[in-house]
Structure formats: C-alpha cells, structure tokens
A and B are shown apart, each in its own frame.
Chain A
Amino acid sequence: MRIKNSLVLIIMLVLLSGCMGVQTKVLDEINMVSAVSYDSDKDLGKRGFKATAVTPYYLPDKTVKTVSFSANSNLSKETRDKTNLQSDKPIFSGKLKVAIFSKEMAKQHLFPLTDTFLRDPSIGGSLILAVADKNASDIITTKPEGIENEDVGSYLAKEINHNIKAGLLPKTNLHVFTYAYYAEGADTFLPVVDLKMGKPYVKGIALFNEDKYVYQTKGIESILFKMLLEHTSKLGYAAKLDGDLVSIHNIRSKRSYTIKKPMTSEPITIHLKVIAFLREYSNPHPSKNFTKKIEKQLEQDIEKKGEKLIKKLQDLDIDSLGIGDQVRTRTRNWDKKAWEKMYHTIPIRVKANVKIEESGVIE
C-alpha cells in the first residue's frame, strides 16, 4: 500500500512539474514592463503609433535603472513582438501599472487601444490610464529626479493613486474608464500628466466625448469636477471672497441629485453638502461672525463656478458627470437618443451647503 501511494505521489509530482508545458517566469529572467506610452505616428496611417515600454533594471546598489524599448505599429501587442527584438529577456506585462496616451492619440478613438489591456488576463482593472499633455514617451522615459530606488511606472501609479485619495483626481483606472465608456448616460475622463522639473505631475482632468478627447479642466475646475462627481474626503478649495483669500481643507463633500421630472426639460439640481476646516484667511481683522459670512460666500462661489463648469460641459455636449446615468435610474422611460438631444438644453443648478466645522487655533 505504501509503495502504491508513493507511486501515485511520484506520478503526480512528475506530471505537475514537468509535463504541463507551463512556461516558467523567473523574475530575474524576464523583463516586467511597468509603464507604456503611446504617441501617434502619422507615417503609419491614421491609427499608427509609437509604443514605448519601460522596464526597471534593479542594480546591486539598490538603485533602479529604467530601460525603455519602443516600436511603431498599428496594434499594441504587435509592438511587443517588435520590442522583444530589442530586449535581452522576454517581456511580460504582468506588472504593468500605467499606460499613457498622448493627446493626439486621445483625440482619435481611445477605446480600441484599451482592448488589449482588457483582454489580457495578466493586466488588472486597476491599471492607471492617463493622458500626456505633450509627449507621452517623455513622461515614462524621464526618471523622476532624486528618486533612486523606484522605477517610473510605480512612481507614477503611486502619484496618481495618492492624488485620488487626497487630491483633485476622481477615482480613475481601467475599470472606471471602461465602465463610463459602456454606460449609457456618461462620458469618460482620464487624468492629465505632464513633466515639471524632471518629475511627472498631475495637471488636470481630460474629458472625453465617449472616447475622444475634447477638453482639459484647468485650475479650480478639477476640484469642482471631483466634488460634483463623487463623495470626497480630503479636498482643498481656495477662493477669493470680497478681496480676501480663503482656503479650506479636509473637505468632506457629498453630492446628491434632485430630478423632479426626469426626461423633461425641468431643471436638475445637484446638491453639494460640504463640511470643511478653515485653514487660511488673508483678512487680519476678521469680524465676529466671519465663519458664517465665509460659509455664505463660499456657497455662492461654489454654485457659480460649478454651474459655469456644467454649462461648459453642456456646450461641449459631454456628460462627464454622468448626469444621464442619474436620470436613467430615476425614470422608466429612458431613451438614450432623446436624452442626448435634450442634454445641453436642460438647466442644471448647483446648490451648495457649506459648513465650516473648525477654524484653527486662532480667532
């Protein structure tokens, strides 16, 4: 019996280890791509592009060197075959964290390019997609200055994820992008990154019409966009009120919709409930009830700027805030075509309710 059992064990071991035909992927013997970029290449026709992939090389002194490969093609996976020709080891995408597209690429349809990311089981939904303000390959081939022990891909991914948690970026990754692309009443958006002093930085939010880039938010618009899109917990907001500068922090905001008669031209109201800490106020002699006054003024400021942003989106005919989705779930006679026709005519109001919970240690 013992012989029989051990025989079975040996058979299983041999079968499991040897005959499965599974390709081994020893970390030292492969190149793990951490970031890719796509720049358009008009020589290859309308959809031609230059793909650049960077892989970290870990050096003995604990520093990381980034090596880049690039190839021109029409298909993303084809470029991998071409980059393999330049690489000393097989290239794998299991650790891919960031994919950056140049604005020119984004102006054409972007979604077909993401097909390979969705199809490849080794790439997860948390892959970060971003748009480069200028040249996409520059961002991933420039090693962040002063950062020795991290490669560009994970630095960028960490930077963007940190700005999602405590910054102006709304939740964004491959899954969110795909979701918004397929949603009936919403358009997609991606973060915009650029280089500043040798480091990547988050410049704003690129808004798309379906999957075509149309607009980039500037300054305060990004913060308002995030507040109008989702619940936030750690935003900062600054405004000029009656000549005094005010900055509030740790904003916890909640937004909710009031849609009285969906699918009609009745106005839609977006309520913003904002609770924040006052952190800076440039008036050295504030009056007694100055927080109340600031609350009122901030409300007006947020309402005015928010409505302006929404008007802008309506004029561009993009629904990045997913207002259509809100309408869709509130009505039983949803009609996508009719909604798209009426979207830019519906008056959309913003109602803010600001509460300053704390104003620091001085009065």
Chain B
Amino acid sequence: MVNKSERIPPYFVFFLVVKVQTGTGVLGFQRLIMHSAGNDAWIAVIFGGIVCLLPIWCMFNILHSHEKDLIGVHKQIFGKYIGGILSMIWIIFWLMLSIAAYMTYAEIIGTWLFPQINILPLSIVFAIVIYYAVSGGFRIIAGLCFLGVILTSFLILTIYFPIGYAQFHNLLPIWHHSIKEMAIGTKDMSLSYLGFSTMLMYYPFIDPFKKAKKWAYMGNLTTMLFYSLIMVLTIGYFTEAQIERYIWPTLNFWSSVKIPFVERFEYVGITMLMFSIVPIICLTIWAAIQGTGRLFNVKSKKITFLYLIILIAFSLSLNSREEVNSLLNFLGNAGLYLYLVYIPALYFITLIMSKRTKKGRDFHEN
C-alpha cells in the first residue's frame, strides 16, 4: 500500500476526473461532432457522457475486487509476460495522451499567440515544470488538478458575450439525424472524455477508495454538462456550414468578448489555459511513469527523464496540423476500444475469476 502521507481524500477524484477530461478538447471538439450530428450534436455530447459511465463503473469493480492498480491486476490475471504487454499498451496510451495534450496547446500558441515561436525552448520550459510537478509525487499532481479546475472555472463566464449573437432556434428541429449519424457523433465525442483511465493507476492513493465512486460519476457528469453547454452555444452561434471552417470555435467565442481593459480576450484566455493543460500532461504522464516503474521496478526519475525527452522529441517532429490531427484521431479510436471493449472485457474476466475462486474456496471449505 501507498504511504499514508501520499494519499488523497476521495473527493479529489472529482477534480482529477473533471480536469483530465476538459483540456484543449474544449476548444475544438465541436467541429468533428457537428460534422456528423449537426444541430443534434448536443445530444451526442450527452450520450457520450452517459456511455462513459459504463467504463467507470467497470473500472471501479475491477479495482475493488483486486485491490491493486492496473499493473497488479494484469499481473494477477494474465501472468508476468502477457500482463506486462497489456500494461505496456496502457502506458503508451497515457504517454500519447500527454503528448496530444501538449501538442494541441503548442499548436494553439503557435497559431494564435506567437506565430514565429520556436517550439524547442517552450517544450523545455514545459518539461521543467512537468518534471517539477511529477517528481513531487501524486499529491502535488492532485493539487494541480484541483487548482486547474478552480482557476479556469471562471472562464465559463465568458460565454455571456457570444450569447448575444446566438440564434438558439438553430437547435430545432430536435433529433432529425439518423441513429447512425448520432452514433458516429457519440463516438467522435469519446476523445474528449478520455483520460479518466488514469484512475487505474492512482487507485491505491485514494483513501478510502470505496467513497470515490460517486465523485468519479459526478466528475464525469459535470464534464458532460460543461461540454453540452458549450455545444448548445456553438450550435446557436455558428451555422453548420460555418463551423466546418473553424478549427477552435471556442476561441472564436472569445474573439467576441469585449471588456474595456482587454482588447483581445484570447490572449488572457489561452494563457489561463496553461493552468488547464499542465495538470493534464502531469497526470497522464505520471500514470505512464508510475506504470512503467511498477512494471519494471525502475527508479521513476530515469523514466521521467526518458518520457519528457520523448515529449520534446514529438513536439519537434510533429508540426503540421494533419499530423497532430491524425495523432488525435488515432488516440480517439484507440481510446474507444480500450474503454468500451477492453475494460468491460477485463471486468468480465475478473467477474468470472472471482466467481471461480469463490466456488473453489467454497468447494474446499466444504
């Protein structure tokens, strides 16, 4: 078990879940979903949120019955080698999530704030900050997530400005897309909800774990409400043909913000988003580091260095939008399988095994 001084109370799970789900995705998730679900996209957003409750439920049950983190679960069920390979898949997935979060943010900085920016020094500065947070242990990361939610929550107030231009009759007629289109929309929405799987790694750090379940659900539903609010506003503010052309519609909301002392709010907003991005990168990369450390029994310091170098290398090599987009698409699809196929499957295996051992135990006892 984890040292008592490193544990966090269960309500922190709420912030950990909300934070990891609301990253750069908030800025540009609308386009993809409206492409298939049109003005019914907000329904797809709600569906996506509800669908995500299933893997959360499965995860809790898996973790409950084993009382270990994912690496331990894999080892127990599949043995050292197969379990190790499966664990590697998740570790790579978390590492990729952190890279994707950083890449999208770096892209926004490069497009909106400083077009001539040299990405290498920026990445190094980010890496130093992340190294500082990650080496501080899990409590620091949980604290960062808490701060990230609190500090960026006021940005929601800025929707006041675009509301004046929104034509909410665009929401009508409700549900005039086919089930298939809605399903595609729901699937595309899944990328925005990813990340809560890091729970599989920070399970031993929550004390008592049993009470964390409701906070995780609440976190997921809060994210869902937040996304659907943004989506409803987007449907009113843009027409469907128009949204196809905007890469970050949420940033375009900010371009209509008028405050006497700030000419362009995007500059404030994007800078504030740093508080939102750093915790996500920290949490996902921490999950990868923790997983690797547990798997190979290596010092986490060395892995941290390795992963941060990988992060920097990726940020230098991926520089066109297509490459970043294909990374995001790949992660979305991979996440879909991992969350909706792999985790339920793992749950069933756990269920069968626990029944078997129970039967076996009963048999022996008799």
Contact = CB atoms under 8 A, between A and B. Distances in A.
A176 B165 contact: yes
A30 B114 CA distance: 16
Given A22-B114, A118-B245, A179-B242, A331 B255 contact: no
Q: Give the most central of B122, B240, B255: most A CB within 10 Å.
A: B255
Contacts of A8: 128, 132
Interface string A317-334: 000000001100111100
A325 B252 contact: no
B255 A16 contact: no
A95 B263 CA distance: 8
B321 interface: no
Contact of A19 (B112, B121, B171, B238): B121
Interface in B118-161: 118, 120-122, 124-125, 128, 132
Contact of A21 (B118, B239, B242, B266): B118
B264 A329 contact: no
B173 interface: yes
A122 B267 CA distance: 10
Interface string B104-124: 000000011010111011101
A112 interface: no
Given A16-B121, A179-B238, A326 B169 contact: yes
A142 B238 CA distance: 36
Contact of B173 (A12, A23, A329): A329
A165 to B, nearest CB: 11
A169 to B, nearest CB: 15
Given A15-B121, A126-B258, A184-B241, A121 B167 contact: no
Q: Give the most central of B128, B132, B239, B245: most A CB within 10 Å.
A: B239
B300 interface: no
A128 to B, nearest CB: 13
Nearest to A21: B118
A125 interface: yes
Q: What size tier do the contact residues of chain B reach?
A: 35 or more
B121 A20 contact: yes
A118 B241 CA distance: 15
A325 B167 contact: yes
B172 A329 contact: yes
Contacts, number: 84
Given A21-B116, A182-B242, A126 B173 contact: no
Contacts of A11: 124, 128
A126 B255 contact: yes
Interface in B227-265: 237-242, 245, 252, 255-256, 258, 263-264
A121 B125 CA distance: 25
Interface string A290-334: 000000000000000000000000000000000001100111100
Q: What size tier do the contact residues of chain A reach?
A: 20 to 34
A331 B173 contact: yes
A11 B129 CA distance: 12
B256 A125 contact: yes
A19 B165 contact: no
A41 to B, nearest CB: 28
Nearest to A123: B255
A329 B169 contact: yes
Interface in A8-38: 8, 11-12, 15-16, 19-23
Interface string A78-121: 00000000000000001100000000000000000000001001
A183 interface: yes
A183 B256 CA distance: 19
B66 interface: no
A326 B112 CA distance: 35
B64 interface: no
Nearest to A18: B121
A312 B154 CA distance: 48
B170 interface: yes
Contacts of A20: 114, 117-118, 121-122
Contacts of B169: 325-326, 329
Contacts of A184: 239, 241
A267 interface: no
Given A20-B122, A126-B255, A171-B165, A332 B263 contact: no
A176 B166 CA distance: 10
A15 to B, nearest CB: 4
A121 B122 CA distance: 20
Nearest to B248: A121
B176 A16 contact: no
B118 A124 contact: no
Contacts of B125: 12, 15-16
A332 B256 contact: no
A178 B242 CA distance: 7
B356 to A, nearest CB: 53
Interface string A245-281: 0000000000000000000000000000000000000
A280 to B, nearest CB: 31
A206 B164 CA distance: 22
Contact of B111 (A95, A121, A178, A329): A121
A175 interface: yes
A179 B256 contact: no
Contacts of B116: 21-23
Rank and list the top 10 A-B pairs by shortest CB-CB distance, nearest first: A124-B255, A21-B118, A182-B242, A329-B172, A15-B121, A182-B241, A19-B121, A121-B112, A182-B239, A329-B169
Interface of A: 8, 11-12, 15-16, 19-23, 94-95, 118, 121-122, 124-126, 171, 175-176, 178-179, 181-184, 325-326, 329-332
Interface of B: 111-112, 114, 116-118, 120-122, 124-125, 128, 132, 164-165, 167, 169-173, 176, 237-242, 245, 252, 255-256, 258, 263-264, 266
26 contacts: A11-B124, A11-B128, A15-B121, A15-B125, A19-B118, A20-B118, A21-B116, A95-B263, A118-B245, A124-B256, A125-B255, A125-B256, A126-B258, A171-B164, A175-B165, A175-B255, A179-B237, A179-B239, A181-B242, A182-B238, A182-B239, A325-B169, A329-B171, A329-B173, A332-B173, A332-B176
